[in-house]
Amino acid sequence: GQNIDQPTEMTATEGAIVQINCTYQTSGFNGLFWYQQHAGEAPTFLSYNVLDGLEEKGRFSSFLSRSKGYSYLLLKELQMKDSASYLCAVSDYKLSFGAGTTVTVRA
């Protein structure tokens, strides 16, 4: 089975940086995805890590350590529109999601 943990909520100020951690214990692993989900909307793809290290994509970066079962999503230069739920998901033949981290960006 899959056990995926991430914090429930985080709050940050506009322009700041926030790091969302995700730890996982899984029976199978083919990569780790991060998705963003605004309230009432579908999840949208942010990043995919299959090898250890940092993947940077604009204001968003994602890190993976397979030996530690650990990933983080780094959001830089926060904007109000970044207020959303961020979902960590581990892939084998399917995606297994964590419960999501609700990020609130304040002015």
Cα–Cα distance for residue pair 103/21, rounded to 1 Å: 12
Nearer to other proteins, 23 or 91 (CB): 91
Of 58, 90, 84, 85, the residue nearest 71 (C-alpha): 90
Using CB under 8 A as the binding rule, whether residue 74 contacts other proteins is answered as no
CB of 5 to other proteins, least distance (A): 11
Of 13 and 27, nearer to other proteins (C-beta) is 27
Binding mask 9-48 for other proteins (x = CB under 8 A): -------------------x-xx-x-------xxxxx--x
Closer Cβ to other proteins, 16 or 94, answer by number: 94
Decide if residue 73 touches other proteins (CB under 8 A): no
